[in-house]
Structure 1
Amino acid sequence: MDESSVNPGRLQATFDPALGTLVWWGVDDVEAALADNGLPAGRPTTCRLAVPVDGTRVEPRTVEARAVDLPAVLPALRGLRPEHEGLGVSVSVWREAARLSGRGDAACTELADAMPVAAHATLDAGESAVPSAAVSLRQFLDAAALVGDLETAGIQATLRPYQIHGVGWLRALAGEGGGILADEMGLGKTLQAVALLAMRADAGPHLVVCPTSVIGNWRRELGRFVPDLPVVVFHGANRALPVTLPNRTVMLTSYTVLRSDADALSDVAWDSVVFDEAQQIKNPAAQAAKAAARLPATLKVAMTGTPVENRLEELWSLLHVTNPGVLGTRARFRQRFATPIESGRSRTAAQRLNAVIAPYVLRRTKAQVATDLPPKQYSTVACTLTDEQSRLYRAAVESAFADGLGSGIARHGNVLALLTRLKQVCNHPAQLTGADDRDLVGRSGKFDRATEMLAEIVADGDRALVFTQYRTMGELLSAHLSSELGLGTVPFLHGGLGAERRDELVETFQSSPDGPPILILSLRAAGFGLNLTRASHVLHYDRWWNPAVEDQATDRAHRIGQRRTVNVHTLVTGGTIEDHIAAMHHSKRAVAESVSGNPEAVLAKLPDAELRALLDLDTLGVN
Structure 2
Amino acid sequence: MTKPENKRVSYYRKPDKMSVEEWQIALRKQFAEKQNFKVRNIGDHPVFSDFKVYNPESGKEYKVAIRSYEFGDNFCSCPDFKINELGTCKHIEFVLQQLKDDDKNDIYWVNGYARPYSSISLKYGKERRIFLRIGTTNPDLINRLAADYFDENNFLQPDKFIEIIDFITKAKKIDPDFKIYHDALEFIIDERSNRNRAEVVDKVFNKGIDSKYFDNLINTKLYPYQKEGVIKAAKAGRVIIADDMGLGKTIQAIAVAEFLAREFQISNVLIICPTSLKYQWKSEIRKFTERTVRVIEGTIEKRQKQYKSDEFYKVASYGVGLNDINYLNDAEFDLIILDEAQRIKNWKTKTAKGLKQLKSQYAIVLTGTPLENKLDELHSIVEFINPYKLGALFRFLDKHQIKEDGTGKVIGYQNLNQISKVLNDILIRRTKNEILRQLPERIDKNYFVDVTDEQWEIHQDYDYIVARLVNKWRRLGFLSEKDRQRLLISLSCMRMVSDSTYVLDQETRYDKKIDELVILLREIFESGDDKIVIFSQWERMTRLVGRELREMGIGFEYLHGGVPAIKRKDLIDNFRDDPEKRVFLSTDAGGVGLNLQTANVIINLDLPWNP
Quickly name the TM-score band, shorter chain normalised. Answer: 0.3 to 0.5
TM-score, normalization by structure 1: 0.39
Higher CA-based Rg: 2
Which structure has the higher relative contact order (CA within 8 Å, separation 6+)? Answer: 1
